[in-house]
Chain A
Amino acid sequence: MADATTAQAYNALVRSRVAAQASYRASFAIELGSQVLLVLIEFVEVYVVFHQVDALGGFDFAEVAVMYGLSAVGFGLADMVVGHVDRLPFYVRTGTFDAFLLRPLSALGQLVTSDFSLRRLGRIGSGVVVLVIALAGADVDWTPARALLVVVTPLAGGVIFGAVFVATCTIGFHVVEGMEFANAFTYGGNYLSSFPFNIFGTFIRRFFTFVVPAAFVAYLPTLALLGRSDPAGLPGWLSWSAVPAALIAAAAAGWIWRLGLRHYVGAGS
């Protein structure tokens, strides 16, 4: 019974966010269009790279485009559902977060449903288009397992980036003006996960594989799709491990969130 009421409450919250966005139609259309173009403009970078060379780190245009597409869809999903948690410092400063704590819903749940950025559908849509075209051009020996991997990977990527968003937004519990730190791991993770990991130095590679698991979003699954091994020497089973990595990341983010919440003492307003 309590669960049904909670679901209703979240349902009402999300509906109100969607209705709010639908009321400024012209602005929403421009924002949606901007999100579509965002992915395409970023993709121009990959295009420019392959205008200069035939391979980057031993991967050709289509193969890097697969990584780009997987990363764009995964990041777009996370950004739509939880990307706005980086507004936490604003809620802390204005006292809104104290109101969250008084209501009979989880604080994280309310923070996540405080917005639902439908405009990000534009980013997800153009990411899917890039991914499909890239997969058609890449040399993939299709098996049922690989087909399943292609479908599951963007979802796992969404969970991984979502976990990074939640874990890093807790910076807002500790400092007032330092939220930008989070961008190095969220947007930085997205930037780097669109490229083959073997072009990066050892420290960056390991950090973005084992601490911030961005390698599991696109690079490692692409290796599994292509049937290739990691030039930097990671074992082959890791290439199939996006889902367990996502689950571990989500659990870790939940733990970091509770740790931050325990530290929170209010803005003193």
Chain B
Amino acid sequence: MSVIAVGPAVALAGAGYRRWATYRQAALAGVFVNTVFGVIKLSILLGIADSAGGTVAGYDAASLSTYAWVSQGLIAVVMIFAWTELADRVRTGDIAVDLARPVDLQLSWLAQDIGRAAWALLSRAVVPIVFGAIFFGFYWPTDPTAIILLPVSILLAVCVSFAGRFMVNLTAFWLTEIRGLVLLYVLVAGLLGGHLVPVQLFPDWLQAAAYATPFPAMVQFPINLMTGQATGLRALGEVAVQVAWAVGLLLLGRLVLSRATRKLVVQGG
């Protein structure tokens, strides 16, 4: 098992950042769409709080606003939506070139993904959150543990999300065309991760189902640190769960990759 050295990893992360930073118009369009959806999402959540008499499942109007804007801001950062780059390379056979490179396939993609996430944090997350804070109420976190853990938690969310997407993409070794599967994955991840509605608002059975999956570790847990839903020991506990999912899923991904490459036959030359 080859691992990746620090130098190449940093270079790949930088390349990931610069590659995505090229598309400024696309980033602007993305910010606009995320913001419009944020207004709609928050209106629905405030409608619920209004009918429930002001607060719902521990959220008041200000923390619902924080939830709505941080969840919109994190869409591009943790890449909740479809990602099929790796699967496309499997389908076209380009994966053969990737496998011949002297760097670890999974970790080199992870490094690029972290670079991409850093660009997304600057270009896609800041504007919706600032917009929300100016035009709608906003709860700012006060718990020191939560504030210190926030950057770690966002980085871990990116790692868990990447590990999941990597494995979904690997199914292309067996299925070739995975559009349907990716769509399904995105929907389930978005719902159970707490991207549409906070997991705390779910009925008990759906909460139990969500917490049995890695999806809240991609979306809900970093948001909890911002909304004050997780403070002190609970914040530490949720970050520990994120670490476990990140390590577990990345290791599982390596296992699947070794199975996949064993059956790979590349035609032509």
Contact = CB atoms under 8 A, between A and B. Distances in A.
Interface of A: 24, 26-35, 37-38, 41-42, 44-45, 48-49, 51-57, 119, 175-181, 183-184, 188, 191-192, 195-196, 199-201, 204
B40 A188 contact: yes
A42 B180 CA distance: 16
Contact of B37 (A28, A35, A177, A184): A184
A54 B36 contact: no
A27 B197 contact: no
B187 A177 contact: no
Please indicate which of the listed interface residues B43, B46, B50, B179 has the most CB atoms of chain A within 10 Å of its own CB: B43
Interface stretch (B11-19, B27-35, B149-157, B253-261): B27-35
A133 B39 CA distance: 29
A27 B187 contact: no
Interface string B123-160: 00000000000000000000000000000000000000
Given A27-B175, A183-B33, A33 B180 contact: yes
B33 A188 contact: yes
A175 B184 CA distance: 31
Interface of B: 23-26, 28-30, 32-33, 36-37, 39-40, 43-44, 46-48, 50-52, 56-57, 175-177, 179-181, 183-184, 187-188, 191, 196-197, 201-203, 206
A56 B47 contact: yes
Contacts of B196: 42, 44-45
A30 B52 CA distance: 39
Contacts of B23: 177
B190 to A, nearest CB: 8
B25 A178 contact: yes
Nearest to B47: A199
Contacts of B202: 48, 51
A130 B231 CA distance: 40
Contacts of B36: 184, 188
Counting from the closest, the 8 A-B pairs by CB-CB distance are A30-B180, A31-B180, A199-B47, A53-B51, A180-B29, A184-B36, A27-B177, A177-B25
Given A34-B180, A175-B25, 10 more contacts: A27-B180, A29-B180, A38-B183, A42-B196, A48-B206, A52-B48, A183-B33, A184-B37, A188-B33, A188-B36
A31 B186 CA distance: 13
Contacts of A201: 39, 43
Contacts of A204: 39-40, 43
A55 B51 contact: yes
A181 B48 contact: no
Contacts of A53: 48, 51-52, 56
Given A48-B197, A180-B29, A188-B33, A34 B43 contact: no
A28 B36 CA distance: 32
Contacts of A35: 183
A142 to B, nearest CB: 28
